[in-house]
Amino acid sequence: MKVLNARMLELKSDMESVEAENDEIHKYLQSLKHVGRISASATVFPGVKITIRDAHLELKNELKRITFVNEDSVIKTKKYEEPEEETLEEE
């Protein structure tokens, strides 16, 4: 019983650590100025979960050559757009 309680406390601590890291990542993503876009040049299968900033979408159908964008906290699909070269700007 002591072993189970110790393991449960260890797992709870691990879970809290992962949740804290997840919160930090979420805050960082929210602070980014760029609007997210995901372009898929091949097939995106049902069950795939798309997250762009604070918007989430779980696909129900198979999609091919598609771009996902976050518009007003809703993920929308558009005709496939080639990804742009990402440039890092110093502020």
Indicate whether 21 and 1 sit together in one domain: yes
Indicate whether 69 and 41 sit together in one domain: yes
**Total residue count of the chain as it appears in this document:** 91
Position 40: which residue type?
A: A
Q: What pLDDT score does 33 carry?
A: 61
| Each residue's pLDDT tens digit, 20-33 | 999 998 788 777 76
Indicate whether 48 and 75 sit together in one domain: yes
d(CA 35, CA 88): 14
Indicate whether 50 and 23 sit together in one domain: no
d(CA 45, CA 59): 7
* pTM exceeds 0.75, yes or no: no
Indicate whether 10 and 24 sit together in one domain: yes
Structure tokens at 79: 């005709």
| Each residue's pLDDT tens digit, 38-49 | 999 999 999 999
